[in-house]
Amino acid sequence: MIDLRSDTLTRPTAGMLAAMGSAEVGDDVYAEDPTVNGLEARVAELLGHEAGLFCPTGSMANLLAVWLLVQPGQELVCDVRAHVARAEMGAHAALHGITMRTWDSAYGVADAAAIAGMIAPDSGPYLVSTAAVALENTHNFGGGTVQPYEHLAEVSQLCRDAGLSLHLDGARLWNAHAATRVPLADYGRLFDTVNVCFSKGLGAPIGSMLVSTAANIAKARVQRKRLGGGWRQAGVLAAAAGYALDHHLPRLANDHVAAAAFAAEVAAVVPGAVEVARVQTNIVVLDAGAATAASVVTAAAAAGVKLSAVGARAVRAVTHQEVSVDEAIAAGRIVAEVLAG
């Protein structure tokens, strides 16, 4: 079985487990875990921000970021396929009273003009006021799309001019960086808050980092505890994340090669299912054509490849460190047959 459902499926390697086993730890609720403190400082610096907060999940880091930027009753605007809107179980509304409006896009690529046309800052007593914009890079349900840097810079300028805050859901910012070589800090400095995940392609078992100003992070630390996210000797997990930055970040580009090879095999048989040139990182979103996504997922699993349905006709394959390029090619051939019916 070749499992392409998600890059979260990766298990810690022997080297990572050794790093976890020898981590120096303390109580992080007292801010006394040296490995956590070191990782927070390291990642904040990498992203060009003052401070970091290590969180159990990317969902919690996004939840805290949006809570910092948007008051109850105000709105966040984001892409229609954004993780914050689709995959966080309505937490921003259910827990923090935040509403959202969404824009549609091709492949998740952010367009400053479209965003400018929908924001409504300081709307007075009649309409909901927009407080912040959220972008995703790479864009997960858009197909692992890398946001062109000039688009990000335009949206950042738009938000500054309009007095709005800007959040980056950078769960896979590492993949964008691996694809473009744009320095992480050049991405980070365009945003007020950034979330990055260690639990995706980087292969750590758990963990995400929220970065922002020191004042914002101090506030977020309190809300994290309120949400039940105050953890103790989390240094064992921070050690896994640190190991991933040292050893797995440099190999992420392999996953991109594997994804492109997978897509090429599919497109060779079913050209309408995927545009190979659109595959920029480790995610391939296939068009199921006349079939439903669910039926393609079932048939592919029976043939030895696990995929996931991410829309009525959208099927997602994700490469990661437990899938070689050869396995990705083999999987592509199998999925091509399934799609060809």
Cβ neighbours of residue 17 closer than 8 Å, sequence gap 6 or more:
none
Q: 19 phi and psi, to 5 degrees?
A: -65, -40
d(CA 81, CA 94): 19
Residue nearest to ligand PLP (CB): 58
At closest approach, how far in Å is the CB of 83 from ligand PLP?
3
The nearer residue to ligand PLP, 44 or 61, going by C-beta atoms, is 61
How many alpha carbons lie under 13 Å from residue 206 in its C-beta half-sphere?
A: 12
At closest approach, how far in Å is the CB of 282 from ligand PLP?
11
Amino acid identity at 157: Q
At closest approach, how far in Å is the CB of 207 from ligand PLP?
8
At closest approach, how far in Å is the CB of 266 from ligand PLP?
22
Q: Within a 10 A sphere around the Cβ of 116, how many other Cβ atoms?
A: 14
Amino acid identity at 127: L
The nearer residue to ligand PLP, 208 or 265, going by C-beta atoms, is 208
The candidate with the shortest Cα–Cα distance to 40, out of 53, 27, 58, is 53
At closest approach, how far in Å is the CB of 169 from ligand PLP?
5
Residues 114-153 that bind ligand PLP (CB under 6 A): 136, 140
**C-alpha distance from residue 170 to each of 65, 111, 210 (Å):** 12, 17, 10
At closest approach, how far in Å is the CB of 32 from ligand PLP?
25
Options 10, 35, 59, 145; binder of ligand PLP; rule CB under 6 A: 59
Options 145, 208, 254, 280; binder of ligand PLP; rule CB under 6 A: 208
Tokens of 11: 């298990």
The nearer residue to ligand PLP, 25 or 63, going by C-beta atoms, is 63
Size of the site for ligand PLP (CB under 6 A): 13
Q: 308 near 297, Cβ under 8 Å? A: yes
Residues 74-103 that bind ligand PLP (CB under 6 A): 83
Q: 177 phi and psi, to 5 degrees?
A: -60, -40
Q: 323 near 2, Cβ under 8 Å? A: yes
Options 33, 169, 255, 265; binder of ligand PLP; rule CB under 6 A: 169
The nearer residue to ligand PLP, 165 or 175, going by C-beta atoms, is 175
**141 burial class (0-12, 13-18, 19+ CB within 10 angstroms)?**
buried
Pick the piece of the chain touching ligand PLP (CB under 6 A) from 115-123, 195-203, 267-275, 320-328: 195-203
Cβ neighbours of residue 302 closer than 8 Å, sequence gap 6 or more:
none
Taking CB under 6 A as the rule, which mask of x and - marks residues 35-54 in contact with ligand PLP? --------------------
At closest approach, how far in Å is the CB of 186 from ligand PLP?
20
The residue ranges that bind ligand PLP (CB under 6 A) are 57-59, 62, 83, 136, 140, 169, 171, 197, 199-200, 208
